[in-house]
Amino acid sequence: MDRRLPHIAITAGEPAGIGPDLCVMLASQPLAACVTVIADRDLLTARAQQRGLPLTITSDETATSLHQGKGELRVHHTPLAAPAIAGTLDAHNSAYVLRTLEIALEGCANGRFDAMVTAPVHKGVINDAGIAFTGHTEFLAEKTGTAQVVMMLVGGGMRVALATTHLPLTAVSAAITRRSLETTLRTLHHDLIHKFGIAQPRILVAGLNPHAGEGGYLGDEEITTITPVLDQLRSEGMLLQGPLPADTLFAPHHLQHGDAVLAMYHDQGLPVLKHASFGGGVNVTLGLPIIRTSVDHGTALDLAGTGNANPGSLLAAIQLAIELSQKTSASA
Ligand SMILES: NC(=O)c1ccc[n+]([C@@H]2O[C@H](COP(=O)([O-])OP(=O)(O)OC[C@H]3O[C@@H](n4cnc5c(N)ncnc54)[C@H](O)[C@@H]3O)[C@@H](O)[C@H]2O)c1
Ligand SMILES: N[C@H](C(=O)O)[C@H](O)COP(=O)(O)O
């Protein structure tokens, strides 16, 4: 067994979405890792047949071996509850989706896997099944007992982290406290150094309100919360700019002075990044005790089974997981 070969778990995500299509496409894609897909094997076989793609499923061996892209896929079989139809959600399969995540997480925690990469899940159908779920990020934080994690997307020459994740807009302001913002910035700063190899990370921090509050006339979170935290962390040596007006923060003349942006909420930061990189971006969860990366897109039910799903983001997520695994094993 080659111990230097990273072993990456890939969860196939929502069975009615494009996750299974993308996993089937991986069978013909060489990768510098051992890969185990966690999914229902009959689902993958059916999707391969629907798409006319070659697929030979191998069993879930304990020894690692290079994923050669010769039409074979190593699968950890996890049975669906109900047959999956491409494009049609079925809440009976929601527990299956979460079970694939648990298997990947358990494998990362016990050393079987070096990292997990997630194909997209459908948050709505999981809730339809009566299971409260807002995203992988929060699910993995809860399952690992991590009080606060940070969602960061990487793509289009940017790294965009978020101070809050999947919250209704009405809940955002209250969720940004001095303590939560400090923890987010410390986690981001730490992982930029230790996971991304940036010795002295420069972080551009967005304000929450239009024009960063316009001196308090358009909201005061910049004055009461954001600025005091930035001042404190700057006094410790962190290189932080902000709070900056979010409408101009992403202009190239600002971005060139930062290694990462911290946006205050999901749709303040992600539309910019996805505009620049959709289909090639990667979502990475910082602050977890394991390595987790993901695609930058959703379940695309309209494309499931059609052959029109772009695998670029999944490949980029796998590549980043490999790089982060190698950094971790080199520093261990
Ligand atoms: N990583 C994740 O699990 C993840 C990420 C984003 C969204 N979601 C979830 O996915 C579901 C659907 O979300 P949505 O409709 O807002 O976004 P979506 O990304 O599924 O679709 C948006 C548009 O992009 C297209 N698209 C998406 N992925 C593509 C790909 N790989 N190749 C080509 N085109 C692609 C779709 O066809 C659609 O037109 C929601 O439940 C959402 O919460 C999950
Ligand atoms: N916020 C993510 C995005 O827009 O790509 C997406 O909803 C997935 O989030 P999780 O990785 O937490 O499921």
Superfamily of domain 1-146+288-331: Isopropylmalate Dehydrogenase (3.40.718.10)
Compute the distance from residue 17 Cα to the ligand 1 centre, in Å: 9
Tens of each residue's pLDDT in the chain, 332 residues:
445 799 999 999 999 999 999 999 999 999 999 999 999 999 999 999 999 999 999 986 778 899 999 999 999 999 999 999 999 999 999 999 999 999 999 999 999 999 999 999 999 999 999 999 999 999 999 999 999 999 999 999 999 999 999 999 999 999 999 999 999 999 999 999 999 999 999 999 999 999 999 999 999 999 999 999 999 999 999 999 999 999 999 999 999 999 999 999 999 999 999 999 999 999 999 999 999 999 999 999 999 999 999 999 999 999 999 999 998 877 66
pLDDT value at position 3? 52
Q: How far is CA 325 from CA 111, 152, 157, 184, 286, in A?
A: 12, 17, 21, 22, 14
Find the ligand nearest to 310 CA: 1
* 303: phi then psi, degrees, rounded to nearest 5: -105, -10
Binding-site residues, ligand 2, Cβ < 6 A:
135-137, 266, 270, 283, 294, 296
Which atom of ligand 2 is found nearest the CA of 139?
A: 12
Q: How far is CA 200 from CA 30, 135, 136, 322, in A?
A: 35, 31, 29, 23
Which atom of ligand 1 is found nearest the CA of 166?
A: 43
What is the ipTM metric for this complex? 0.98
Find the ligand nearest to 267 CA: 2
pLDDT value at position 332? 60
Compute the distance from residue 299 Cα to the ligand 1 centre, in Å: 5
Residues of the chain with CATH 3.40.718.10: 1-146+288-331, 147-286
CATH second-level architecture of 147-286?
3-Layer(aba) Sandwich (3.40)
Compute the distance from residue 70 Cα to the ligand 2 centre, in Å: 31
Q: Whose CA is nearest to atom 2 of ligand 2?
A: 296
Binding-site residues, ligand 1, Cβ < 6 A:
18, 118, 120-124, 136, 279, 283, 294-295, 297-300, 302-303, 309-310
| Binding-site residues from annotation | 136-137, 166, 211, 266, 274, 283, 292
Nearby residues of 156 by Cβ (< 8 Å), 6 or more positions away: 273, 275, 276, 277, 280, 281
pTM of the model: 0.97
